[in-house]
Amino acid sequence: MSTETRDGRPLVRLRSARLAYGPRVLWDGLDLDVAPGEFLAVLGPNGSGKTSLMRVLLGLRPLSSGTVEIGGEAAHRGSRRIGYVPQQRAVDPTLAVRGRDLVGLGWDGHHWGLGLRGRAERRRRVDAALAAVGATRYADRPVGLLSGGEQQRLRVAQALVADPDVLLCDEPLLSLDLAHQRMVSELVARRAREHGTAVLFVTHEINPVLPLVDRVLYLVNGRFRIGPPDEVMTSATLSELYGTPVQVVRVGDRVVVAGAENGGGQHHVEETP
Amino acid sequence: MSRFLDLSTTLDLLGYDFVQHALLAAAVLGLVSGALAPLVVARQMSFAVHGTAELAFTGGAAALLLGWSVGAGALAGAVVAALLLGLLGQRDGERDSVIGVVLSSGLGLGVLLLWLYPGRAANKFSLLVGQIVGVDSTDLALLAGSALVVLVVLAVIYRPLLFSSVDPAVAVARGVPTRFLSPLFAVLVGVATALGVQTVGALLVLALMVTPGAAAVRVTANPALATVLAVVFAEVAAVGGILLSLAPGVPVSAFVTGISFLIYLVCRGIAAARARRPRT
């Protein structure tokens, strides 16, 4: 944890970033700064380049043009400054790994060797990360036998165990029920608040996160808008982004976006490398 | 039946060099295959192990025909197989069929080579189902040397390999070189498989490379404990199989696979009993 990242300078910085697959431009001219402690939701229809943005930040995919920096240095694969929660996928129930092993791999799984020397330190770190997400109770059970919500808590613990400056979450709420969606969102928001972690949170589920986020990056079909939720999540802004009438309706404390998926949402792009 | 329990014959035979060689070979094999087995299971490589074993058989048959060391031939065949499978089957959907293609062509070529071999039929048969007289002292040195290399390399790559096996998406993001680890692990498995071909034979090497791992992960989700258990299971099957086969003169592989399967059944039974018991 270096001091240079804690002085308010952005932890994530994109300048004139462009990403294109052949002739199809996912986004272009993207300037984005994410400050320490900021919680940014990345929203938009399928194929708008949300997961690709994660891959760019992880250094797994180069930009077509422009620059991307994490904590002042060019994004590169295996950066220790980034914690990553991948798209939620069902774990094979026969996989013989405990929750504590999964979290431990987040700590030192990329190191060579058996890791016998660092055992005490690893155990301390893993126990702390498990406790921070409230997963201690089931940490010794096989991961494949846990519920989706329990697995996702472990994923968050795995991403946070190495104390990253930046947390990237790619659809961490997928296939969770509403209570667990809230729980995971709040877990991440608390981390941003209390540890000054910059969070980029890709999701289709806007309601659990909107009350918690500082800003929204909304990507649609090559266009995008960045701003506080109240500015971006309006009928006028989204209609302009989608290029078709979109209604943003507030029902109680829920936000419903109507008509969006028919506008720009049908252009699927192969997002695998 | 009395032949199976003839202790004095067994003790007699234990005095022979070739029996001692075979026991040593089995102990080394149990250690290596047990250490690899849980990862083979986690990476769903059973069929790849089978395919590699068939090519080890082809290599062994070629060596037999040319008058070279069968152990070296099997080793060469298995490494070629591991590299072929690694190069041709990079995509998941393709892997299954590529193994099938490589396996059958290798086996066919091996059959041709054996047919060309003018020597004793027993030597030919032993490549497929194993025979303890198959191991001489030069083979033993090769076996121990290869085993040591496999274990050292495995120890070095163990953590990133486990990471990329159980959690590939995060492992890649963390900078684990998964594309380099997969073929490397395939080669390790290939070497271990080649060691097994001479004792248990090409057809039944799965009993040591897969079954102990499959049994261990039934009873524990702790990767370190699973590895220890798999080594113990593989040792019991390999060494125990040879000891039991001595008096009746039955091919080693029959006992090795039998013991291995029995351990697997017991582990499944334990897992089933645990699943019925309510969690506290």
Give me the CATH number covering residue B33.
1.10.3470.10
Cβ atoms of residues B175 and A78 within 8 Å: yes
In chain B, DSSP finds a helix count (H) and a strand count (E) of 13, 0
State whether residue B158 sits within 8 Å of chain A by CB. Answer: yes
Cβ atoms of residues A50 and A216 within 8 Å: no
Residue B279 lies in a domain: no
Helix (H, G, I), strand (E, B) or coil at B210: coil
Tokens 């040195």 found at? B141
**A211 CB neighbour count, 10 Å cutoff:** 13
Side chain identity at residue B153, one-letter code: V
Nearest to A60 among B42, B172, B220 (CB): B172
Residue of B152, B158, B163 to mutate when probing chain A, most A C-beta within 10 A: B163
Say whether B174 and A113 touch across the interface (CB within 8 A).
no
pLDDT at A176: 85
Mind telling me how many Å the CA of B254 is from chain A's nearest CA?
Answer: 28
Count the domains in chain B. 1
Residue B41 lies in a domain: yes
Residue B178 lies in a domain: yes
CB pairs under 8 A between A and B: 92
Per-residue pLDDT averaged across A136-158, rounded?
92
In chain A, DSSP finds a helix count (H) and a strand count (E) of 9, 12
Say whether B226 and A96 touch across the interface (CB within 8 A).
yes
Distance CA A178, CA A183 (A): 9
Residue B16 lies in a domain: yes
Say whether A105 and B173 touch across the interface (CB within 8 A).
no
More confident: B234 or B131: B234
Q: Give the rounded distance of the alpha carbon of A102 from its chain centre.
A: 18
pLDDT at B234: 96
- Taking contacts as CB-CB distances below 8 angstroms, the residues of chain B near A109 are 159-160, 162-163, 167, 171, 174, 176
Residue B111 lies in a domain: yes
Interface of A with B in 100-119 (CB under 8 A): 101-102, 105-106, 108-115
State whether residue B166 sits within 8 Å of chain A by CB. Answer: yes
- Taking contacts as CB-CB distances below 8 angstroms, the residues of chain B near A79 are 175
Of the pLDDT bands very low, low, confident and very high (cuts 50, 70, 90), residue A75 is: very high
The domain over range A1-81+164-230 is classified in CATH as 3.30.450.90:
no
Say whether B174 and A108 touch across the interface (CB within 8 A).
no
Nearest to B162 among A60, A86, A105 (CB): A105
Specify the pTM. 0.89
Residue B226 lies in a domain: yes
Please, what is the average pLDDT of chain A? 88
Q: Is the pLDDT at B241 greater than 70, yes or no?
A: yes
Per-residue pLDDT averaged across A99-123, rounded?
93
Cβ neighbourhood burial of B91 (10 Å; 0-12, 13-18, 19+) = exposed
Tokens 């990242």 found at? A5
Phi, psi of A31 (to 5 degrees): -110, 120
Q: Which residue of A has its CA nearest to B167?
A: A102
Say whether A113 and B222 touch across the interface (CB within 8 A).
no
Residue B278 lies in a domain: no
Mind telling me how many Å the CA of B252 is from chain A's nearest CA?
Answer: 30
Of the pLDDT bands very low, low, confident and very high (cuts 50, 70, 90), residue A9 is: confident
Residue B62 lies in a domain: yes
Domain boundaries, chain A: 1-81+164-230, 95-162
CA nearest neighbour of B188 among B215, B164, B157: B157
**Buried b or exposed e, range B133-160, using 16+ CB within 10 angstroms:** ebbeeebbebbeebbeebbeebeebbbb
Q: What is the pLDDT of residues B40-95, one digit of tens each?
A: 999 988 898 999 999 999 998 999 889 888 888 989 999 999 888 877 766 667 77
